[in-house]
Structures are given as structure tokens and as C-alpha cells.
């Protein structure tokens, strides 16, 4: 039986379409990062990073509190817009067991970050970010990126780019309402 001369053409076409679909699938998943739909609902990856005054801080130090984890940089203008909101939100919700932690992703010296933090009157701890931490949160390709952690240390939400203040407030309220608060020692 003679094979149609079009068979190799259509085989190649099908292979090309499948290859294209597979590459697109892989690409889309890579672009969204492993955090998308995989990190949310799981324990927030713990880290140990240096604060601006040289101390070591772990995320797990805040277990029992709701945490807003903000990846930012001094060169990021949208990040600069959020910071005054965070300063207010820390004041507003701090007493209810809420903590903001800023992770500075600057490549420059921490003096620049400290100078910026002072200029912006930041009232919450800033730690100096590392690539390994960034990767554990799914690879932070853009800034700002903000994660919300409930009182049990579980990641409940993530926001890419500048959001409205009300989005933060909603996530903060949700984070504070979930998990067990740490009991004050008697």
C-alpha cells in the first residue's frame, strides 16, 4: 500500500503543534512561578535574614501573629507608594497581633537601605533579602510582591505589584482571623 505523500507533512504539523502547546504550558507555569497555587495554603518558607542593625531575624519568630511580608527595593517607585500605608497599618493593627516585615532586595549596601528606611520613617523591621529566600517564595521577578501569612504561619495570599490599600486591609483581616494567636505568658 502506497503511503500518502502528505502523511509526513501532517505528522510534522501535529508534532509542531504539540511541541508548541507543551512549550507554552511550561512557559506559563514558569512565568507564574512555583508559588502560584502551590505556595498559597502551605507553610510560609521560614528564613533567617539580617536586619539593618545586624541582628538575625526568622520569620518563625512571629508565629502567633499575622504577618505581611513585603519584598521591595529602594529603586522601586511603586514600592515607595505602599510604604506609608504599611507604616499606618503597622500602627493600626500592631496591637492586635499583626506584624509587617520588609525584605529589601537591593544589591547595594545596607547603608542605602537604612537611609531610605529612615527617610520613609519605616516603623517595622527591614531584613536584607537573599536570592535563596526569594527563590523559596517562588522567585520574585517583579517588585513589589507581598505575601500574607496567618497566625499559624500559613501563606494565605500573595499580591504582585502595587495594590490598593483596601486589598491589603482585606488580606490583613483575613490573616489575623486565621490560626491560633500566641497566648500571653501568665
Partner 1 sequence: MKMLVANALLLLSAWAWAQDDFGPKTPAVQMAPAPVVTAVQGKSATVPLSFRVLSGYHINSNHPKSEFLIPTVLKVEATTDIVIGKTTYPDGQDMTFPFDPDEPLNVYTGDFKVEVLVRPLLSVQVGKYVVRGTLKYQACDNSACYPPKQLPISFDVKIAKAPPPPRKNPAQSPHSHS
The answer to the question of residue 167 lying near partner 1 (CB under 8 A) is no
Which of 1, 2, 3, 5 contacts partner 1 by CB under 8 A? 5
Taking CB under 8 A as the rule, does residue 111 contact partner 1? no
DSSP character for 47?
-
With contact defined as beta carbons under 8 Å apart, do 137 and 71 qualify?
yes
Binding piece for partner 1, criterion CB under 8 A, among 38-46, 55-63, 71-79, 177-185: 71-79
For 171, phi and psi rounded to 5 degrees? -65, -35
DSSP 8-class letter at 150: -
Query: Could you give the CA distance from residue 156 to residue 171 in angstroms, rounded to a whole number?
Result: 8
Sole binder of partner 1 in the list 24, 29, 55, 58 (CB under 8 A): 24
Residue of 37, 142, 180, 182 interacting with partner 1 (CB under 8 A): 142
Phi, psi of 153, rounded to the nearest 5 degrees = 85, 15
Among 1, 53, 54, 77, binds partner 1 (CB under 8 A): 77
Question: Within positions 49 to 68, which residues make up the interface with partner 1, using CB under 8 A?
Answer: none
Q: The C-alpha cell of 65 is what?
A: 501573629
Question: What Cα–Cα distance (Å) separates residue 149 from each residue in 40, 80, 109?
Answer: 9, 22, 28
Phi, psi of 98 (to 5 degrees): -130, 140
Nearer to partner 1, 64 or 160 (CB): 160
Return the number of the residue (15 or 182) whose C-beta is nearest partner 1. 15
**Is 69 an interacting residue with respect to partner 1 (CB under 8 A)?**
no
Among the listed residues 59, 123, 97, 57, the one whose alpha carbon sits nearest the alpha carbon of residue 184:
97
Nearer to partner 1, 71 or 148 (CB): 71
Query: In the complex, which residues of this chain contact partner 1 (CB under 8 A)?
Result: 5, 8-9, 11-13, 15-17, 19-20, 23-24, 27, 31, 73-81, 105, 107, 112, 116, 141-144, 160-162
Amino acid at each position: 500500500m502506497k503511503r500518502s505523500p502528505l502523511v509526513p507533512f501532517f505528522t510534522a504539523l501535529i508534532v509542531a503543534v504539540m511541541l508548541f502547546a507543551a512549550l507554552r504550558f511550561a512557559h506559563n507555569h514558569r512565568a507564574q512561578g512555583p508559588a502560584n497555587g502551590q505556595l498559597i495554603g502551605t507553610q510560609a518558607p521560614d528564613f533567617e535574614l539580617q536586619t539593618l542593625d545586624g541582628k538575625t531575624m526568622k520569620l518563625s519568630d512571629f508565629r502567633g501573629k499575622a504577618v505581611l511580608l513585603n519584598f521591595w527595593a529602594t529603586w522601586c517607585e511603586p514600592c515607595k507608594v505602599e510604604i506609608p500605608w504599611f507604616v499606618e497599618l503597622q500602627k493600626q493593627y500592631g496591637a492586635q497581633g499583626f506584624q509587617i516585615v520588609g525584605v529589601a532586595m537591593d544589591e547595594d549596601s545596607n547603608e542605602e537601605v537604612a537611609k531610605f528606611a529612615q527617610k520613609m520613617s519605616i516603623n517595622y523591621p527591614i531584613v536584607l533579602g537573599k536570592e535563596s529566600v526569594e527563590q523559596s517564595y517562588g522567585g520574585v521577578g517583579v517588585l513589589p510582591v507581598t505575601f500574607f501569612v496567618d497566625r499559624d504561619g500559613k501563606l494565605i495570599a500573595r499580591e504582585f505589584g502595587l495594590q490598593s490599600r483596601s486589598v491589603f486591609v482585606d488580606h490583613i483581616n483575613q490573616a489575623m482571623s486565621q490560626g491560633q494567636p500566641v497566648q500571653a505568658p501568665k
